[in-house]
């Protein structure tokens, strides 16, 4: 029996990479999944992956994350969603910089392709890696089936602004919370954040005296996430850096107006269908919150335009691009697959 492509199935989970991995792999056919074994990003993982590939000899290998093998006897590709770990100083630890320099960059030059999710990330990866342009391929991201206008809308009795995030510095939550506290907004309006707050975020809320207006709801299911988007006055995406910006796209797909950062990949995803703010300026974020809360006509227009824009993003299309790459890698030992997909992306 002919060898099948092998895909790393250890990335599934409630993160951006996890969602990408789950949605894409669910649509791939005729592949084998790599499961179990060494944990992701273990110091010995690159060598372990090489051993797995040497033993199993698939037709090709793909990781939906940024964990490549040290060497590979078969064509391989891996995914760099962004370079936040290098470009954002607060998250660029010495260990992460070493991993990218000693593992990721050399592997990018050995790989048939590096996959990414936005043109912004592609340009950033090309500049950092020195790869030829055709070797970094954009496959994009899509919208899950539960993110649609129809369905339950929220669980709260008070109106709220909504933000899907985590507590990492690039997500810019302290500045969002401060902007919310200082904006001229109705006292009945809440800020609801889908994140697990750290001690610093809780202290920020307490110091600003808005503990009764900020709700942290931790992690929620996709169905509840969609309902929270649908029930919001607006969804807010104030990140200083993103590789794609799935929360903004998923909000638009639910028919919810979006207030979003004007940086990195977010304008590429949202286009003119969101209210852009400068995420580095508290007054700009506050102004955006005031405007979206006060202007019903603006909210209605952005909801319509966002819904129309979200229809252009499909996980089926993303998976088809990935499947085409795997098929071409399995059939050829050169970089023609990358050139073909780079031209189509």
Q: What is the pLDDT of residues 309-340, one digit of tens each?
A: 999 999 999 999 999 999 999 987 555 555 55
The CA distance from 155 to 194, in Å, is 13
Burial class (CB in 10 A: 0-12, 13-18, 19+), 162: buried
Tokens representing 26?
């669910």
Task: Check whether residue 169 and residue 223 sit in a common domain.
Answer: yes
Task: Check whether residue 124 and residue 40 sit in a common domain.
Answer: yes
Residues of the chain with pLDDT under 50: 342-345
CATH number of the domain that residue 92 is part of: 3.40.50.2000
Residue 13 resides in a domain? yes
Task: Check whether residue 138 and residue 263 sit in a common domain.
Answer: no
Predicted local distance difference test score (pLDDT) of residue 267? 97
Task: Check whether residue 116 and residue 62 sit in a common domain.
Answer: yes
Residue 81 resides in a domain? yes
Residue 179 resides in a domain? yes
Task: Check whether residue 285 and residue 334 sit in a common domain.
Answer: no
Predicted local distance difference test score (pLDDT) of residue 343? 47
Asked if 129 and 118 touch (Cβ cutoff 8 Å), the reply is: no
The SS3 call for residue 105 is: helix
Q: In what order do the strands lie in the sheet with 136-138?
A: 31-34, 5-8, 61-63, 76-79, 113-116, 136-138
Helix (H) or strand (E) segment spanning residue 15 = none
Task: Check whether residue 168 and residue 282 sit in a common domain.
Answer: yes
What are the pLDDT digits (tens) for 128-146?
999 999 999 999 999 999 9
* Cα angle 88-94-95, degrees, rounded to a multiple of 5: 105
Containing structural domain, residue 189: 160-310
What distance lies between CA 190 and its chain's CA centroid? 25
Closest CA to 338 of 26, 66, 8, 76: 76
Residue 204 resides in a domain? yes
Predicted local distance difference test score (pLDDT) of residue 2? 67
Task: Check whether residue 245 and residue 334 sit in a common domain.
Answer: no
Residue 189 resides in a domain? yes
The CA distance from 298 to 308, in Å, is 15
Residue 147 resides in a domain? no
Predicted local distance difference test score (pLDDT) of residue 272? 95
Residue 28 resides in a domain? yes
Task: Check whether residue 10 and residue 42 sit in a common domain.
Answer: yes
Task: Check whether residue 84 and residue 60 sit in a common domain.
Answer: yes
CB atoms within 10 A of CB 212: 9
Residue 154 resides in a domain? no
Task: Check whether residue 9 and residue 134 sit in a common domain.
Answer: yes
Q: Say how many domains are in the chain.
A: 2
Task: Check whether residue 44 and residue 19 sit in a common domain.
Answer: yes
Asked if 339 and 329 touch (Cβ cutoff 8 Å), the reply is: no
Task: Check whether residue 26 and residue 67 sit in a common domain.
Answer: yes
């Amino acid at each position: 029996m002919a060898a099948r492509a092998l895909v790393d199935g250890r990335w599934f989970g409630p993160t951006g990479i996890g969602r990408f991995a789950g949605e894409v792999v669910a649509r791939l056919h005729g592949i084998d999944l790599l499961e179990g074994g060494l944990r992701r990003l273990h110091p010995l993982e690159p060598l372990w992956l090489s051993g797995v590939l040497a033993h199993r000899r698939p037709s090709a290998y793909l990781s939906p994350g940024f964990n490549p093998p040290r060497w590979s006897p078969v064509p391989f590709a891996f995914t760099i969603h962004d370079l936040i770990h290098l470009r954002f100083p607060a998250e660029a630890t010495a260990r992460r910089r070493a991993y990218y320099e000693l593992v990721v960059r050399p592997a990018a030059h050995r790989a048939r392709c590096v996959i990414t999710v936005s043109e912004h990330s592609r340009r950033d990866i090309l500049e950092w890696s020195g790869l030829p342009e055709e070797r970094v391929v954009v496959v994009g991201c899509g919208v899950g089936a539960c993110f649609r206008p129809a369905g339950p809308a929220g669980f709260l009795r008070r109106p709220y602004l909504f933000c899907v995030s985590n507590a990492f510095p690039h997500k810019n939550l302290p500045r969002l919370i401060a902007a919310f506290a200082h904006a001229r907004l109705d006292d009945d309006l809440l800020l609801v954040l889908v994140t697990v707050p750290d001690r610093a975020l809780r202290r920020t809320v307490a110091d600003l005296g808005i503990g009764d207006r900020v709700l942290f709801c931790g992690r929620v299911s996709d169905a509840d996430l969609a309902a929270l988007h649908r029930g919001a006055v607006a969804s807010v995406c104030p990140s200083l850096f993103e590789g794609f910006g799935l929360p903004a796209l998923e909000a638009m797909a639910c028919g919810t107006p979006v207030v979003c950062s004007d940086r990195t990949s977010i304008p590429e995803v949202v286009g003119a269908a969101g209210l852009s703010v400068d995420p580095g300026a508290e007054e700009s974020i506050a102004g955006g919150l005031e405007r979206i809360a006060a202007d019903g006509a603006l909210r209605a227009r952005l909801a319509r335009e966002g819904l129309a824009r979200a229809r252009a993003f499909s996980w089926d299309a993303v998976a088809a691009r990935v499947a085409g790459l795997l098929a071409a890698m399995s059939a050829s030992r050169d970089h023609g697959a990358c050139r073909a997909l780079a031209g189509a992306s």
